[in-house]
C-alpha cells in the first residue's frame, strides 16, 4: 500500500481505549500515533503488543501544538451533520486520523484544523478504539491492492494483485 497514516485521540476519557487503539493501529501498519491533551502511560495498559516500542507516539498538549509531516492531511472522525460518510470517503495517501473522546466530541478548534471530517454511519457513537479500527480497516480496504469483491457470496474472489510485502500471491487449488 502506498502512502502512510497516523492515528490519534483528542482527550481520551476511558482508560484502556488508547492502548487498544495503539495495538490495533500497530496491526494495521500505522506509521505514528498521537494524543492531544491529557495522556498518561496508564492509558496504554491494554496495549499488549507494546506498540510504543515499534511505532512513534507523539503527545501534544493542545491542538495548536500538533505538528504533522509535510502533505499529511488531518482527518477528524466525528458524528457531525456535515461529515462525509466513511463508505463514500476517498482516503488521502498521507493522513492522520483523530478521534474525539467516547463521552464527548472533537473540540471546535480541532474540527477547524481538520481538512476533512468523516463519520461512521452508525446510530450512535462507537467506542473510541472500535471507531479507530473501523476507519483503519476502511483505509486498508480502499488503498490496499485488493480486487473488487464478488457480486454474490458464492462467487470466487480474485486474488490480491500483490501480497502486502511485495511477494506474488498464488492461488491454491483445493
| pLDDT tens by residue, the chain, 174 residues | 679 999 999 987 666 778 788 889 998 999 999 999 876 555 555 566 667 777 888 999 999 999 999 999 999 999 999 999 999 999 999 999 999 987 789 999 999 999 999 999 998 888 888 999 999 999 999 998 777 888 888 888 877 665 554 555 454 444
Per-residue pLDDT, 14:
63
Give the separation between CA 26 and CA 49, rounded to whole angstroms: 8
The CATH superfamily assigned to 4-143 is SPOUT methyltransferase, trefoil knot domain (3.40.1280.10)
pTM of the full structure: 0.84
Burial of 20 (0-12, 13-18, 19+ CB in 10 A): buried
Per-residue pLDDT, 17:
76
Amino acid at each position: 500500500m502506498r502512502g502512510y497514516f497516523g492515528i490519534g485521540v483528542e482527550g481520551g476519557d476511558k482508560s484502556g481505549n488508547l492502548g487498544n487503539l495503539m495495538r490495533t493501529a500497530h496491526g494495521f501498519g500505522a506509521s505514528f500515533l498521537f494524543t492531544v491533551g491529557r495522556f498518561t502511560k496508564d492509558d496504554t495498559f491494554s496495549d499488549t503488543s507494546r506498540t510504543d516500542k515499534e511505532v512513534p507516539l507523539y503527545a501534544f498538549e493542545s491542538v495548536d501544538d500538533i505538528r504533522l509531516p509535510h502533505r499529511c492531511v488531518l482527518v477528524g472522525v466525528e458524528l457531525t451533520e456535515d461529515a462525509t460518510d466513511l463508505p463514500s470517503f476517498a482516503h488521502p495517501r498521507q493522513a492522520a486520523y483523530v478521534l474525539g473522546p467516547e463521552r464527548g466530541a472533537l473540540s471546535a478548534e480541532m474540527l477547524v484544523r481538520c481538512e476533512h471530517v468523516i463519520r461512521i454511519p452508525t446510530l450512535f457513537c462507537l467506542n473510541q478504539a472500535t471507531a479507530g479500527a473501523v476507519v483503519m480497516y476502511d483505509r486498508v480496504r480502499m488503498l490496499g491492492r485488493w480486487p473488487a469483491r464478488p457480486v454474490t457470496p458464492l462467487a470466487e474472489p480474485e486474488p490480491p494483485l500483490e501480497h502486502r510485502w511485495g511477494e506474488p500471491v498464488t492461488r491454491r487449488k483445493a
